[in-house]
Amino acid sequence: MKIKLVLIALVMLVLPTITLADDISIDFKPVQGQPYWASSQINADSAELNTLIISLSAKENGTARIFWVNNYDPQFNQIKSLWFKIKKGDHTYSFNIASQNQGWIGWTKGFILFPEMDPAAISLPQAKLVSGNLLTNIQSGWQEFFGPYGRNIVGYTINTMPSPTLFGRSIYVYIYWLIGLSLLLFFANYFILLIKAKKKKPAYGALIKKLLLVITCFWLILEASTLISNWNNLQSDLPLIGKDIETKRAMVNQGDFYAFIQFCEQKLPVAVSFDHRFGKIYDDIKAVYYLYPHEYQKGAEYLLVYDAPAEKEINLYYQPFAKMRENAYILIKRK
């Protein structure tokens, strides 16, 4: 009987989605020459449609961001974005965006899906905007808590690690409330005992012990969640086992960047300096690191070009020296 009642309650909660919502299907398409996917233009009331459901297939684990624009702010920016984990294989992700981001207001006009991994590893994402229900909310909360917040470092320079969140709030907000309530109960008990016991005072140590126990329990729950992240990181680094150092360097750099570095090491004469044009952020820093004792010098005799936007003036001063592939080559100064 009880099970039936629970099932009925669940159906009642799920029912509004089925009956009331006008789901909006969203077609994501890769943008030519850009590492992201963009949706077609839509016009969705964010107050009614609060949940985005995306189905996508990924060849590797990674993270991605979803950006959106609305009638108040037509720019894609980080304030109006969600950060989430992508798991290898075919998976469906639910986001109750309204609960996670205050920028979910007004009329939503479109989305961008920006994978923070090789975009080629993701295939055709399908998505729809729906009015969320209990099940999608649970799924959204679950994904949010086990998402990148509290597990991944923000950016490349190891500067911060945000706390895990649940429905847009730090998980600590919920835990502080629970600890606060426990503390109230312990204190109430302590003072009742203090009033009752005229001769013998209740043990202060017992109060501390209980409090420490509560803190430790919550800490262990948080640590369990961290251990899961550790395990995921460990798994993604397992392919590096048994590889030689050169292969490892190639694996931790994107695309054929390290192959280009090896190509430069091979082609550059001994003890010459180089200038560079790199298309991606930080590739210049990595090149200085890998190619030392060749030193970087602005306007040097050799110019390394790797996936950089074309510069017509370069040809005035430099001529081809060695080529690895299209957009990855070494130039030498014209005499």
Partner 1 sequence: MLIINLLVALLVPFTLGTCALSSVISRNGLRLMEKFFLAMLAGIALQVILMFILPFIKIPLTLAYILAGDLLVCLVMAIFLFFNKSFFFNRNELSQLTMPQGLTWIEISLMALMSLKFIYVFFEALIKPVIDIDAISMYSVGAKAIFIKHTFLDSFILQTIHDKPFFAYLSQAWLLISLQSFNDCLIKLFYPIIFICLLGVFYSQARRFWPRQFSLLFTFLLSSFPFMVFHATTAYVDFSQTAYYAISTIYLFLFIKEIDQKTQLTIAAHDFFTLSLVFLAFSLWIKRGGIFLAAINLVSIIMYLFIFKRKLLASQLRSFILPAGYFILLTLPWIIYSQASIFWGTLGVATQEVATQASNTAAGSNFQVVFSTLLNKLFLYSDWHLLWGMFILATLFCLWKKTTRPILFLLTIIILNIFALFFDFSLGHAFAYLLDGTLLDRLVMVSTPIVLFYCAEVFSPNPNS
Q: Is 89 helix (H, G, I), strand (E, B) or coil?
A: strand
Structure tokens at 228: 């899961």
CA distance 89 to 87: 6
CA distance 229 to 216: 20
Nearer to partner 1, 192 or 252 (CB): 252
For the chain, report the end-to-end CA distance as a whole number of angstroms.
Answer: 91
Q: Shortest approach of partner 1 to residue 11 CB, angstroms?
A: 37
DSSP state for residue 48 in the 8-state scheme: T
Q: Is 108 helix (H, G, I), strand (E, B) or coil?
A: strand
Nearer to partner 1, 33 or 293 (CB): 293
Nearer to partner 1, 70 or 229 (CB): 229
Q: For 175, how many CA atoms within 13 A lie in the half-sphere containing its CB?
A: 16
Q: Shortest approach of partner 1 to residue 88 CB, angstroms?
A: 19
Q: Shortest approach of partner 1 to residue 69 CB, angstroms?
A: 24
Contact assessment for residue 264 and residue 331, using Cβ atoms and an 8 Å cutoff = no
Q: What is the residue type of 191?
A: F
Closest CA to 288 of 279, 296, 298, 280: 296
Neighbours of 61 (CB within 10 A): 16
Q: Shortest approach of partner 1 to residue 227 CB, angstroms?
A: 7
Nearer to partner 1, 74 or 205 (CB): 205
Structure tokens at 94: 């639910």
Q: Shortest approach of partner 1 to residue 255 CB, angstroms?
A: 15
Q: What is the residue type of 99?
A: S
Nearer to partner 1, 9 or 251 (CB): 251
For binding to partner 1 (CB under 8 A), which residues are involved? Answer: 150-151, 153-164, 170, 172-173, 175-176, 179, 183, 204-205, 208-209, 211-212, 215-216, 218-219, 222-223, 226-227, 229-230, 233-234, 237, 240-241, 245, 248-249, 252-253, 282, 285-286, 288-289, 292-293, 295
Nearer to partner 1, 24 or 288 (CB): 288
Orientation angle between helical segments 245-252 and 257-267, nearest 10 degrees: 130
Q: Shortest approach of partner 1 to residue 232 CB, angstroms?
A: 11
Full DSSP string of 135-147: HHHHHHHHHHHTS
Q: Shortest approach of partner 1 to residue 219 CB, angstroms?
A: 6
Nearer to partner 1, 75 or 292 (CB): 292
Beta bridge partners of 169: 166
